[in-house]
Chain A
Amino acid sequence: DTAVSQTPKYLVTQMGNDKSIKCEQNLGHDTMYWYKQDSKKFLKIMFSYNNKELIINETVPNRFSPKSPDKAHLNLHINSLELGDSAVYFCASSQDTRAYEAFFGQGTRLTVV
């Protein structure tokens, strides 16, 4: 039983396209996150949602729009993709915002050509 699952695992697309990454967690957690891992393997927070509400937006370009239809899902839509968006995007969840253990998905490797 996968706790945090993302789809797709790999995504190759051309510049200017719009794409979405989906994330689902079956842990019953209230808080979900998107992290970006760049080419140097450095992980950085992008967004944090608690009970479907956005609580963190770490100066991410407006082309990135997260959407949480319910507590178990947090999707990431990216408009007008640029070469610099190429990275691995990780979804994660935790019980709530009170510093509980975070669980990560397997990542989505996005390559913009």
Chain B
Amino acid sequence: KQEVTQIPAALSVPEGENLVLNCSFTDSAIYNLQWFRQDPGKGLTSLLLIQSSQREQTSGRLNASLDKSSGRSTLYIAASQPGDSATYLCAVPPGGATNKLIFGTGTLLAVQP
């Protein structure tokens, strides 16, 4: 059974700092991994999708890496800004399946001005 864990659960950093969010999953037989952000009272916004054949995906100040064999992904945020404050979620399809996502527990990020 696929389980997804995110560490840390909460993180507070000063503006301008680079930071790393971690996501680990128990079943490495995944097709892809997706990172989302959720703002309070809002829906989920897709940030990055990494296919299982990829090791990295970049979008602006965000860089996501994937190491299937170790069951880990990291989301790197460069030069953090107060507008980055949100909950960040990673999600994977369960091993061998594609028709749903298993979500991590989330990391609540606060970037202090």
Per DSSP, are chain A's interface residues mostly helix, strand or loop, or mixed? strand
Bin chain A's interface residue count: 20 to 34
B21 at the binding interface (Cβ < 8 Å): no
> Taking the nearest CB of chain B, how far is it from the CB of A99, in angstroms?
4
Contact call B93/A45, Cβ cutoff below 8 A: no
B76 at the binding interface (Cβ < 8 Å): no
* Complexed CA–CA distance, A41 and B6 (Å): 13
> Taking the nearest CB of chain B, how far is it from the CB of A23, in angstroms?
11
Chain A-chain B contacts (Cβ-Cβ < 8 Å), number: 52
* Complexed CA–CA distance, A34 and B98 (Å): 15
Q: In the complex where A90-B44, A106-B43, A107-B42 touch, is A99 in contact with B32 (Cβ < 8 A)?
A: yes
Q: In the complex where A42-B103, A43-B89 touch, is A99 in contact with B43 (Cβ < 8 A)?
A: no
Residues of chain B touching chain A, judged by Cβ–Cβ distance below 8 Å, are: 31-32, 34, 36, 41-46, 49, 87, 89, 91, 93, 98-103, 105-106
